[in-house]
């Protein structure tokens, strides 16, 4: 296709995906690969927003095991998402693409505060917008933040990039006989407890009729294939 199938997308990436083959932190080669895949989508004429997790640095849910209360742990996790967002922004701009980091927690010297109208304007001008610090509130995952920003930005589709090529009835990395789904409804995802995204994130997409595609982001060119209108991964819709 000469034109993309979607005008505007929200890409959700996990913090763990930035580790590459490392056990912690950010792998430079993975970061560069992600930036080039995102640039390819941008060059295709698609407006791109991004939410990235912070699990490669700190997970709020694991804070209580360290004696840290949940609210404090979630705040630490939000700061970790901003570290990853800054790294991704730097990698994207090294590829020659303008970007903006907007954060739900005010930190003026680091990033712009999230203002919906301003974010929309950035995207309309062709800038890649990275949304950091989740929703800015504890007890909400970055999956929920991605769903929320996707709805606010009026995107055509929410793309969840993973290391497997869709949604399966069990973990395909552990079960070689796992069955892949080509298409699912929101209800089926919740009923089967497939754990694609958390309950709040799925419900938000369902209420706003926002389709979700779960795809392998580690395969070169996969995102461009999806944006070209080809069947990639698993789609969740009404």
Strand partners, 112: 102
The CATH number given to whatever domain includes residue 64 is: 3.40.1160.10
In a domain, 2, yes or no: no
Cβ atoms within 10 Å, residue 125: 10
The vertex-20 CA angle with 50 and 55, nearest 5°, equals 55
pLDDT tops 90 at residue 22: no
**Would you say residue 2 has pLDDT above 80?**
no
DSSP string covering 42-75, please?
A: HHTT-EEEEEE--TTT--GGGGGGGT--HHHHHH
194 domain residue, yes or no? yes
- pLDDT at 63 (0 to 100): 64
Which pLDDT belongs to residue 59?
Answer: 73
Instruction: Check whether 46 has a pLDDT greater than 80.
Output: yes
pLDDT tens track for 69-120: 989 999 999 999 999 999 999 999 999 999 999 999 999 999 999 999 999 9
To the question of pTM greater than 0.85 for the whole model, the response is yes
Domain-located, residue 1: no
Note the pLDDT of residue 44: 96
| pLDDT interval class at 173 (50, 70, 90) | confident
> Is residue 64 included in any domain, yes or no?
yes
Low-confidence winner among 8-12, 25-29, 41-45, 172-176 (lowest mean pLDDT): 172-176
DSSP assignment of 85-149: HHHHHHHHHHTT--EEEEESS--TTTSEEP-HHHHHHHHHTT-EEEEESTTSSTT--HHHHHHHH
Residue 61: pLDDT over 70: no
Give the pLDDT of residue 64: 65
- Compute the average pLDDT of residues 149-166: 96
Summarised one tens digit per residue, pLDDT across range 186-209 is: 999 999 989 889 999 999 999 999
- Beta carbons within 8 Å of 24's beta carbon, 6+ residues apart: 56, 57
Mean pLDDT of the residues in the chain: 94
Q: With CA atoms as reference, report the closest residue to 236 among 203, 199, 210.
A: 210
225 burial class (0-12, 13-18, 19+ CB within 10 angstroms)?
middle
Q: Which domain holds residue 55?
A: 8-237
Spatial neighbors of 11 by CB under 8 A, at least 6 apart, are 38, 41, 48, 49, 50, 51, 159, 161, 223
Tell me, yes or no, whether 96 lies in a domain. yes
- Asked whether residue 65 is domain-assigned, the answer is yes
The number of domains in the chain is: 1
Is 118 inside any structural domain? yes
Greater pLDDT, 7 or 173: 7
What burial class does residue 171 get, using C-beta atoms within 10 Å of its C-beta: 0-12 exposed, 13-18 middle, 19+ buried? exposed
| Contact criterion met (CB below 8 Å) for 173 and 166 | no
Asked whether residue 3 is domain-assigned, the answer is no
- The predicted pLDDT at position 202 comes to 96
Query: What is the model's pLDDT at position 137?
Result: 96
Beta-ladder partners of 129: 49, 100
Q: Kindly tell me if the per-residue pLDDT of 1 is higher than 60.
A: no
């Amino acid at each position: 296709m000469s034109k993309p199938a979607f005008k505007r997308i929200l890409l959700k990436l996990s913090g763990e995906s930035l580790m590459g083959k490392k056990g912690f932190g950010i792998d430079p080669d993975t970061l560069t690969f992600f930036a080039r895949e995102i640039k390819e989508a941008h060059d295709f004429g698609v407006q791109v927003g991004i939410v990235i997790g912070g699990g490669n640095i700190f997970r709020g849910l694991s804070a209580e095991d360290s004696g840290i209360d949940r609210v404090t742990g979630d705040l630490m996790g939000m700061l970790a998402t901003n570290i990853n967002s800054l790294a991704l922004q730097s990698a994207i701009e090294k590829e020659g693409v303008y970007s903006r980091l907007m954060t739900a927690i005010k930190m003026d010297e680091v990033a712009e505060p999230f203002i919906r109208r301003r974010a929309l304007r950035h995207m309309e001008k062709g800038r890649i917008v990275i949304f950091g610090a989740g929703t800015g509130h504890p007890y909400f995952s970055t999956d929920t933040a991605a769903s929320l920003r996707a709805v606010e930005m009026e995107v055509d589709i929410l793309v969840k990039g993973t290391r497997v090529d869709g949604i399966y009835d069990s973990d395909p990395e552990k079960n070689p006989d796992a069955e892949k789904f080509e298409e699912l409804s929101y209800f089926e995802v919740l009923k089967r407890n497939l754990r694609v995204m958390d309950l709040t994130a799925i419900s938000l997409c369902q209420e706003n009729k926002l389709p979700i595609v779960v795809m392998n982001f580690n395969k070169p060119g996969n995102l461009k294939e999806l944006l070209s209108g080809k069947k990639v991964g698993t789609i969740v819709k009404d």
